[in-house]
């Protein structure tokens, strides 16, 4: 990602009030981009969006991606060169409670974004963010690459597989790379794993639940301590999204495809491992307990292969898993101490941006 590229670029970002969206909004603001956000009200209270005053440096439209007319009006008014679509229902458990809403937001919301792109002149690159859970999970040991089949057992994962199919259909039907000279839009999708970082208060998500318990001086309760996930700091995939959007803009349709942005293999750790280290970093004798109740189905093992992004985009992770946890805990402790969280978040973004990629062998954790 080239910082100078983003200065004065007009960017339309859906989902800007969410956890990842707020981080990306602040990053784009620091790069000098002209950002228009489109999303519902912040999904949590407290929220990073409100706490860091994210709306101060951008145009913020509070509306629903399921409302096609409103979305088209907002996108045309923004006149963006770049569209990054992140608005989503992002929780597995919520998808069991509200499968219709999950599909409506994640699938039809993506359709509405791409329809709006079709009818908004001047857009050059589009990144649709889905999830590593878009793949048909066969519970095997090998990582999934961009050529593997879409799938998903639960409504959330399946909705993300459907999102990828929507992107593929629109790329083939309306934004085909071979016809780029005619339509002028390069369309890619981005797939990332479980992210962690300061300012995430989503329910039924491991790190927010653990940190909330620690703040309240309770023992965190884990439902699946052996479940393995590709943990990474939130800034890692956001760096990937920016890198991909820039590559699509610079090289037209050359990179118009799906891309994985996951951590190195040893960063795939169990829920128990992550919680152990969160407790150690928090201190004060913190410990966790296991929930004896049965949990709904979630994938127990899923790893993505990001070699394509490393080879063709030059995207490489910068934070090893322990450092990612340290940054998350330090952010949370700063918040509990009453620090200026816009300033603190901006400092972490700057530290990340100037950091060199880490050596995955030298920093392999015990």
CA 290 to chain centre: 28
Q: State both tokens at 17.
A: 């009030």
223-247 pLDDT tens trace: 888 887 778 999 999 999 999 999 9
**150 falls within a domain:** yes
Distance CA 321, CA 305 (A): 17
Per-residue pLDDT at 305: 92
* Residue 358, in any domain of the structure: no
- Between residues 188 and 362, which one has the greater pLDDT? 188
In 247-286, beta strands by DSSP E: 258-261, 268-270
Q: Looking at 5-14, 253-262, 298-307, which range is the least confident one?
A: 298-307
Residue 304 is classified by DSSP as: B
Instruction: Determine, yes or no, domain membership for 237.
Output: yes
252 — pLDDT class (breaks 50, 70, 90): confident
Q: Quick one: pLDDT at residue 301? A: 65
The answer to whether position 221 is within a domain reads yes
Rg (CA), the chain: 19
Q: Under a CB-based contact definition with an 8 Å cutoff, are residues 329 and 278 in contact?
A: yes
Beta strands in 193-257 (DSSP E): 195-196, 221-222, 228-230, 232-233
Q: What is the CATH number of the domain that holds 300?
A: 3.40.50.720
- Per cent of the chain over pLDDT 70 is 96
Question: How much is the mean pLDDT over the chain?
Answer: 92
Is the pLDDT at 265 greater than 90, yes or no? no
Residue 365 lies in a domain: no
Per-residue model confidence as pLDDT tens digits over 140-196: 778 899 999 999 889 999 999 999 999 999 999 999 999 999 999 999 999 997 899
Query: Does 298 score more than 60 pLDDT?
Result: no
SS3 289: strand
Counted residue by residue, the chain has a size of 366
Q: Is residue 359 part of a domain?
A: no
**What is the count of structural domains for the chain?**
1
- Is 360 inside any structural domain? no
Give the pLDDT confidence score for residue 226 in this predicted structure: 82
The per-residue pLDDT for range 73-104, each reduced to its tens digit, is 999 999 999 999 999 998 888 899 999 999 99
> 54 lies in which domain range?
3-353
């Amino acid at each position: 990602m080239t910082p100078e590229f983003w200065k004065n670029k007009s960017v339309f970002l859906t989902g800007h009030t969410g956890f990842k969206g707020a981080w990306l909004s602040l990053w784009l603001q620091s790069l000098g981009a002209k950002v228009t956000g489109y999303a519902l009200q912040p999904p949590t209270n407290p929220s990073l969006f409100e706490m860091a005053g994210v709306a101060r440096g951008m145009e913020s439209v509070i509306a629903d991606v399921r409302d096609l007319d409103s979305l088209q009006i907002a996108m045309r008014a923004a006149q963006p060169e770049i569209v990054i679509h992140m608005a989503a229902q992002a929780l597995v458990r919520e998808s069991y409670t509200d499968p219709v809403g999950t599909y409506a937001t994640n699938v039809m919301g993506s359709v509405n974004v791409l329809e709006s792109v079709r009818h908004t002149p001047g857009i050059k690159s589009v990144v649709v963010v889905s999830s590593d859970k878009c793949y048909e999970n066969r519970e095997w040991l090998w990582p999934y690459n961009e050529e593997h089949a879409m799938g998903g057992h639960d409504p959330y994962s399946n909705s993300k597989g459907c999102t990828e199919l929507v992107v593929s259909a629109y790329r083939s039907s309306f934004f085909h790379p071979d016809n780029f000279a005619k339509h002028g839009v390069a369309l890619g999708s981005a797939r990332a794993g479980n992210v962690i970082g300061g300012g995430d208060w989503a329910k039924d998500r491991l790190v927010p639940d653990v940190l909330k318990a620690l703040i309240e001086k309770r023992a965190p309760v884990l439902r699946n301590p052996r479940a393995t996930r590709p943990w990474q700091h939130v800034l890692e995939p956001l760096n990937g999204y920016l890198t991909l959007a820039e590559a699509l803009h610079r090289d037209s349709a050359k990179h118009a495809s799906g891309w994985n942005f996951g951590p190195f293999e040893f960063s795939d750790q169990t829920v128990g491992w992550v919680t152990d280290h969160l407790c150690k970093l928090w201190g004060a004798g913190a410990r966790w307990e296991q929930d004896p109740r049965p949990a709904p189905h979630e994938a127990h093992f899923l790893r993505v292969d990001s070699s394509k992004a490393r080879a063709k985009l030059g995207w490489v992770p910068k934070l090893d898993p322990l450092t990612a946890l340290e940054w998350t805990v330090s952010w949370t402790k700063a918040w509990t101490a009453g620090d200026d969280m816009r300033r603190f978040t901006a400092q972490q973004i700057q530290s990340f941006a100037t950091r060199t990629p880490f050596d995955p062998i030298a920093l392999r954790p015990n």
